[in-house]
Structure 1
Amino acid sequence: MTPLGHFQQAFNAADNAAWVSSWAGRVAASATTAGNAPMAGAATAVGAASSLFEQMVRPNWKKSLFDSNIDFAVSVGTGSYPALAPVFTELGELVKKQRN
C-alpha cells in the first residue's frame, strides 16, 4: 500500500471513531433520560474510548480541548435537568460541528 493509502485509512478510521463517539453520546443521553445509569456509563466509556482513538490517529489538541469543554457544559446541563439530556447533547454536537 502506498503512503497515501495508509493516510487515507487513518483518516477514515478517525472519522469512524468520531461518528461512534457522537452516537455513544446520544445513547448516553437517552439512557440518562430513561434513568438507566449502567447503560449511560457504558455509553460514556465507549464515547471516551472512541474520542481517545480519534486523537491517537489524528491528533488535534485544539479540537479536543474545545470538544471537552462543550462536553463538560453539556454534562452540567444534563446533571441539572436529566429529562433534557438528549436536547443538551444535540445542541453540544451542533456547536462542535459548527466550530470544527
Structure 2
Amino acid sequence: MKKKLQFLEKDKTSYQLSEKCLQYIEKYKPDQAVATGYGRNLINTNLENCITLSEIKAFAIGAKYIHPEGRTILDIGGQDTKIISLDGKGKVRNERPLFRRNRKVFKNNV
C-alpha cells in the first residue's frame, strides 16, 4: 500500500535552510523525515527520526511512485544536469549517472 504525501509547503528562501526545515518539522511533527541533496546531513544530525538518501536514490523512488513505467530521469538543475537510468523495478542502473556541470550558475535560482 502506497503512503500519501501528508503535506507540502514551499518557501522561496535560500538562506537559513536548516533552521527553516527544523521549523517545519516542529510545526508538522512527522513520524519520519527524509533529507536528501547536498545538505542532507545538516538536518540528519538534528533529528532522531530522520533518514538520509542521495538525491539520485530519492529521484528513483519518486519516479517509480509517480511513473512506474519510466526508465530515465533527466534532472536539469541550476548547477548540474544528471541523466539517471532505472531498471524495470525502479532501481538505479547506472551507479555513476551521466553528470555534467552547467556552464553558468544563475544567482537567485529558486
Q: Which has the higher contact order (CA 8 A, sep 6+)?
A: 1
Greater Rg over alpha carbons, structure: 2
For the criterion TM > 0.5, the same-fold answer is no
Higher strand proportion:
2
Higher helix share: 1
* Structure-1-length-normalised TM-score: 0.30
TM-score calculated relative to the size of structure 2:
0.28
